[in-house]
Copies of this chain bind each other. A is one copy, B any other.
Amino acid sequence: MNKEKIKNKLTEKGLKVTPQRMFIFEAIYKLNNHPTADNILDYIKDIHPHIATGTVYKVLNVLLENNLIKKVKTENDKMRYDANIESHHHLYDTESDVIEDYYDEELDKLLREHFNTKNMPDFKIEEIVLQINGKSYNSR
């Protein structure tokens, strides 16, 4: 995700393009492992020591309100942010607290079919997110 694209995303939403917004938004892409506000703050403050904590939170909230990023929460964990706004599922490693994105079109199709036949008159589904808890054996 390059600077030009990030700039366009801000402009499309009618948001002013400020340096702070640019590098905070970039940071979420770079820290692609569902960073916490704290991760983002650390990363940013290394490069731009003068940024205010309040500004980072304000920018995160503006990006959230404009659907440019998402929030992710898991049990035993604080709020995290995700620059990946496509619909996707999460593999959650219960030991390390690492969240990995999980895509599975076949599964999504299965779910769509299941809930189409299922009659749920009281609830209008907008989105289904699977949280798959377990242990990851990734060599990292």
A121 within 8 A of B: yes
A133 vs B124: C-alpha distance in the bound complex, in angstroms? 8
- Size class of the contact patch on chain A: 20 to 34
A122 vs B132: C-alpha distance in the bound complex, in angstroms? 13
Q: What's the least CB distance linking A64 to chain B, in Å?
A: 9
A13 vs B133: C-alpha distance in the bound complex, in angstroms? 24
A52 within 8 A of B: no
A94 within 8 A of B: yes
A104 vs B123: C-alpha distance in the bound complex, in angstroms? 14
A7 within 8 A of B: no
Q: What's the least CB distance linking A16 to chain B, in Å?
A: 25
Q: List 10 A-B contacts (CB under 8 A).
A: A71-B76, A73-B74, A110-B114, A121-B137, A123-B135, A127-B133, A128-B130, A129-B131, A129-B133, A130-B130
Chain A residues near B (Cβ < 8 Å): 70-77, 91, 94, 104, 106-107, 110, 114, 118, 121-138
